[in-house]
Structure 1
Amino acid sequence: MKVIKPQVGPKNVPDQDHLIIGVCQMAPIFLNRQATLDKAIDQIELAAKEGCELITFGEALVPGYPFWLALTDAARFNDDKQKAIHSLYLEQGVTIERGDLADVQAAAKRNKIAIYLGIMERALDRGGHTLYCSLVYIDNQGQIASVHRKLHPTYEERLAWGSGDGHGLRTHSLGAFTLGGLNCFENWMPLSRAALYAQGENLHIGVWPGGLHNTYDLTQVLAKEGRSYVVACSGLMRKSDCPADMPSLEEILDNSGEFMANGGSCIANPDGTWLIEPVIEEEALLVAEIDHAKVRQERQNFDLAGHYSRPDVTRLVVNRQRQGLATFEDE
């Protein structure tokens, strides 16, 4: 894995204001849950050797984003071909309750590193047969601190994923920073962002399946809006990453370009300038040291949850209850 660091930036002087972060742009071992988790653990170990206290991974990394939906006429109803692919996808989903993330949690604890990991969650509390695009935060003690299920899948994603809820709209403290994260097009949703801003977010993690077109403009815009550091962490997907035994492989390859997802991972400073510009068409670990003092400097003239907010005029109400089909009231 190539390691990329900024040419200029804060000096590596550990103090209460500084945090070293890693952004892992990697391809999954497509449609293979355990192999992808093993590959992610290797990158966690690498990030720890680089001094990182936080590492992020792309949207739906485990076991992969459903790229075939746009390539195989996926909207055809009750189609045997789509059922076959979906069955495999569901079987390879991540079930947190059975301990699928236990090795990742152990790696977090062993390396004292926090992790944002994008998964396809096979949620037992919703029956176990629907996938949710979930962003999991694991703290540096190896504990799962939040699981945010994407509020609304985007366009063709609705053919494969269920709609989430607000339970995971939470922030987490790490050193001087307050972290929050959203999946893909959720980063375009002002009220979802506001829910994190209201909790003091100053390091925003946006995860994406991959694509420079997604990350180039928005990352800098959100940094300027939030006066925060903003990470865009993308996946990567090449034709060569498709397994030979994948259903409908020939059709997928015929209809795809060389890259189904070309990356675009990057980091923006709180003033909207680049700390690390977008990286495309290669797997890489982006490593940067960030400085909370820069957040405080930019909040001097605009703090949208603080002195520049007017809760007496406009105010957001957030429902963070985990949604489910039934509530059981046993004696």
Structure 2
Amino acid sequence: MKDQLLTVALAQISPVWLDKTATIKKIENSIAEAASKKAELIVFGESLLPGYPFWVSLTDGAKFDSKIQKEIHAHYAQNSIVIENGDLDTICELAAECNIAIYLGIIERPIDRGGHSLYASLVYIDQKGEIKSVHRKLQPTYEERLTWAPGDGNGLLVHPLKAFTVGGLNCWENWMPLPRAALYGQGENLHIAVWPGSDYNTKDITRFIARESRSYVISVSSLMRTEDFPKTTPHLDEILKKAPDVLGNGGSCIAGPDGEWVMKPVLHKEGLLIETLDFSKVLQERQNFDPVGHYSRPDVTQLHVNRKRQSTVRFDE
């Protein structure tokens, strides 16, 4: 049965760091290439558009009222994504043209939160080119909190894709058991985990989630090397003083519903990684364990989720 099979593309690429326009072009090239290889879903890493805030840990990011931090942050904000202004329109149009679904990690500057603060968001675009969810990372990690704001539960949604039900989380959110459960409870059986770029993150959690949920898990990481910092980056000399040659080595991978590797972590390779997934494997593994079905006790433990989009101001007209 054709609906049982899903061909997926893992886009393990580097951004044109902090350059929104150039990175969008690179993303669009990857989408077109994936479509030419018959992929029906393509996944990009966390904050790929326009890039992960590597500078914070390299340039004394916690120093208060720092000119360097302010100027790099402003550059980051100017290259962030304002969905309401149509910044993702060309990507959505390409998704519809290629009949391909997309999970894309972006840095979002949303108008509904005032239009100035930044959020690490995971966007799902369906095969018709429609944005179906924007999940703002619930809890930025360590130094990320110096440049990203915490999100809300509005994007804790799943989506139908052929026989599959897909959902996704950003980076260390994948270690948070309750957000995972929120997706499991909606029928998720293909879990998307996006990362800034390291097998340190993907090598354990990918198989763990797969075995816990009896679902496929796709982990996608970006690449980042010193040569990927554009010459136009503000305070580039300061950033490079402490930067290792490799900041993100990839590690994109896929685990099956039995917790075993479908694709082991791939390191230092830029490009698309293609695999076809068989939905019947999900049902086979749910026979002996289903965390929100026959192996659950909702009469004893339940999760309550607030999916309201949060805003500081609400107006009654």
Secondary structure of the residue aligned to 1:307 is coil
Secondary structure of the residue aligned to 1:16 is helix
Distance 2:278 2:68 in 1: 50
Distance 1:242 1:45 in 2: 25
Kindly state the Cα deviation for residue 253 of structure 1 after the two structures are TM-superposed: 1.4
Kindly state the Cα deviation for residue 173 of structure 1 after the two structures are TM-superposed: 0.2
TM-score (norm 1): 0.95
Kindly state the Cα deviation for residue 245 of structure 1 after the two structures are TM-superposed: 2.1
- Provide the residue aligned with 2:276 in structure 1: 289
Secondary structure of the residue aligned to 2:218 is strand
- Provide the residue aligned with 2:11 in structure 1: 24
Secondary structure of the residue aligned to 1:179 is strand
Q: What aligned pairs does 1:255-294 form with structure 2 within 5 A after superposition?
A: 255-294=242-281
Q: Deviations over 1:122-160 (max 9, x none)?
A: 110001100000000000000000000000100000000
Q: Does 1:242 align with 2:229?
A: yes
**Moved >3 Å (runs of 4+):** none
- Provide the residue aligned with 1:192 in structure 2: 179
Q: What aligned pairs does 1:8-87 form with structure 2 within 5 A after superposition?
A: 15-87=2-74
Amino acid of the residue matched to residue 275 of structure 1? Answer: V
Q: Deviations over 1:233-282 (max 9, x none)?
A: 00110000001121221222121111111111001111111111111112
Q: What aligned pairs does 1:214-253 form with structure 2 within 5 A after superposition?
A: 214-253=201-240
Amino acid of the residue matched to residue 21 of structure 1? Answer: V
Number of residue equivalences: 317
Q: Deviations over 1:193-244 (max 9, x none)?
A: 0000000000000000001100001101111001000000001100000011
Q: Does 1:327 align with 2:314?
A: yes
Select the residue among 279, 283, 287 that pairs with 1:300. 287
Secondary structure of the residue aligned to 1:204 is strand
Secondary structure of the residue aligned to 2:205 is helix
Structure 2 gaps, min length 5: none
- Provide the residue aligned with 1:211 in structure 2: 198
Q: Does 1:152 align with 2:139?
A: yes
Residue identity over aligned pairs, in percent, reads 56
- Provide the residue aligned with 2:164 in structure 1: 177
- Provide the residue aligned with 2:110 in structure 1: 123
Kindly state the Cα deviation for residue 290 of structure 1 after the two structures are TM-superposed: 0.3
TM-score (norm 2): 0.99
Distance 1:279 1:259 in 2: 15
Q: What aligned pairs does 1:128-147 form with structure 2 within 5 A after superposition?
A: 128-147=115-134
Q: What aligned pairs does 1:70-109 form with structure 2 within 5 A after superposition?
A: 70-109=57-96
